[in-house]
Structure 1
């Protein structure tokens, strides 16, 4: 397709008004990043208050770097919890895999945080307001006009009208923006897998002599079983024990369901007595679907004035803790290419095409890895489980592996998923766009920037990097 890239000989800056439909974690983070790039930002949220439902969430190193860069970590403070190790177990508690968290953090030079969704969202909202973002509650979007003009006109249920240069659909699984662009697309559960979410106070666990042996230090624990698993970790400054309890039902689950707590407890009655005792402490829970969206052929409107991000574009299963993280990466990438729009170096439709071209395959890859990790944790009893456990067993002796079914510690997966830098990716993609070549190369040797980064530049100080700008 012919480029509509524009020059900037005069140095004149453009002004653009970006609207976001949805003020969840991804939407508010994108608002911060885009406001920092220089755009005017308005976020329309349907709910009458700002907040997040749910329980714990992992801020893995790929997005911890973004929280640090934008100062969100300082606002959240001690509610960002670091843990010492990951232990993978059979459902009876037998250890089969191990990851020392400090090895991951040291290799990537970023922390791996655990946090309550509410604390994360609260921190993001605070920083968004500090950057001048207009967060409007009670603004349910009911109509979007985008076909007849380069501008987008949005009408809310309350009768208000907003006009934007770009509308971003950050409104999640049930996205009104996605339904407007692609009415035939419907997120679906790929299998009968679904999950409970639960929190139990550490103080309550300490009073149980059996369960309390699990909380002597801050760890992440995974109990793996055929068609079920439990993952647990600390949140809320180490005062709450968060659990995600994965299981299967006779039929696919598409909506949140109320449950019998007796059924939940029976589901895990044969697990390690330590975690089973904590499961018995859960006061109430609901069954949550694991819905996957796409992959879609496009994330945007023909004019590039409406675009999707996050769960609206690529919801995924939760087994790699990358749903919110991938949404935040979308926002970070968008902010870099929109910076170039604001500087009048690239047209808005080209910036959106570049975002789609680069981010769509990344998101699809995450969807696949996430699904497969869930399959690894829920292998059928017998030879499949034994083969998985044999492949991980050297980790228990501290032996480094070149590859492992423990994807939270597998070197290739860690580098690909947790070592990913969305902003650096966007800068490389812009270089390719501007230079009309595959990647920026060292003139003398022909070495491509991504190769230099993967092999050499990751450990060198900035001024010593083989390719000066990657």
Structure 2
């Protein structure tokens, strides 16, 4: 039996919007994505993202694999061998073998250039039936409560949708329209591996495909490979003496001076950076709502909950939003829900998840920025079992901390949606009819160590 024809509009063809479009197509809804840029490649390079790379942690690598996006990106999805946590001078204080995280969760941990991720999402979204329309800057929304939403673009074209999703980032036009009182509150560089190999001091940093984190009081530096392991990417967040709310061109000497006391190996690579820009880290929320009262317009991604980048979960959380919301909208397509009910369910379930990530991201930055002293020494001591291969239960290295790995990186947005939908429709959580054990607890305590096809593919 054919489902209902539900037409969903998305404002913004960034990573979150395209991920939602992929998931909506899989759920049986029609998706039209309106993008202001004239060329889709410009979206990734210039509009939304200050960093050229993104970490596809296991919570979203599972989506990229399930949707076929990973197959399109191919070798440009780079898997690292290990993560090392270091003091500013290069002393190693923490260590996570990536294979341990991947085997535990049954999913890979990738890093990828945003352009490659964006390209893969464009291709699969279009294969999923999405209509991605460029040169379509949205200038007006007409959203009478309980009715369809009319969207007008700068070129005078009007579209009508059953539901509108604002996936247009931190400067969201959709958010400014439906939540006009909300305002955001107040860097990266790439060097080719071949250039680093020629440096006698720096070259030993690239013997393996690793992620390295150098921690210091008012700055830190994260490095790892991208583009099939050909480029060495660096993220260089630091405190500024002035308030930054827009992109600034940076005197390259200022950048080099900021990191002049770091490990001589990474300092040599910083000195290879030819130019740089400073991007502000802006935060939205937590908000009381992500939607209009009748739930005919809703926000996802940075439009709803932008966060600092210390856990590398901004793009990941946007993709989770789209995956969850699309699963719920699929029930409206089947006739099991009204148009408003998937949005209501999405807000109820996803808002606490996003807020938790915002807090954890902030706290991880605080952990990395500890001043030399008792707290810094306690942090390093607490990480020390990682260096000797001891089994540990907690760690300030949140990329390897068992609880954080399971809670954040082990999260499955589509499974969460399936359970929430079953609870909504049947007023109970899915459970084994004989034992009464819920699937959530069975997955947590037993299914994780059972063989599976997904784990076999790692």
**Separation in 2 of the partners of 1:266 and 1:300?**
45
Residue number in structure 2 paired with 1:24: 14
Correspondences of 1:11-410 after superposition (within 5 Å): 13-51=3-41, 52-53=44-45, 54-189=51-186, 196-410=187-401
Retained in 2: the 8 A contact 1:12–1:344?
A: no
User: What's the TM-score once normalised by structure 2's chain length?
Assistant: 0.95
**Separation in 2 of the partners of 1:148 and 1:397?**
60
**Separation in 1 of the partners of 2:240 and 2:3?**
55
Tell me the SS of whatever aligns to 1:220.
Answer: strand
Retained in 1: the 8 A contact 2:166–2:299?
A: yes
Retained in 2: the 8 A contact 1:29–1:128?
A: yes
Gaps of 5+ in 1: 1-10, 190-195, 464-470
Retained in 1: the 8 A contact 2:145–2:296?
A: no
Tell me the SS of whatever aligns to 2:236.
Answer: strand
What do the CA deviations read for 1:385-444 (whole angstroms, capped 9, x no partner)?
10100000111001121000000000000000000000000000011111223x233444
Relative to structure 2, which stretch is displaced further, 248-257 or 387-396? 248-257
Compute the displacement of 1:335 (Å): 1.4
**Separation in 2 of the partners of 1:121 and 1:134?**
15
**Separation in 1 of the partners of 2:261 and 2:450?**
50
Compute the displacement of 1:348 (Å): 1.2
Q: Could you list the structure 1 runs, at least 4 aligned residues long, displaced by more than 6 angstroms after superposition.
A: none
Retained in 1: the 8 A contact 2:40–2:134?
A: yes
Number of matched pairs: 446
| Structure 1 vs Structure 2 CA RMSD | 1.3
Compute the displacement of 1:460 (Å): 3.5
User: What's the TM-score once normalised by structure 1's chain length?
Assistant: 0.93
Residue number in structure 2 paired with 1:193: none
Residue number in structure 1 paired with 2:420: 429
**Separation in 1 of the partners of 2:91 and 2:240?**
26
Gaps of 5+ in 2: 46-50, 454-458
**Separation in 2 of the partners of 1:128 and 1:63?**
16
Tell me the SS of whatever aligns to 1:246.
Answer: coil
Residue number in structure 2 paired with 1:411: 402
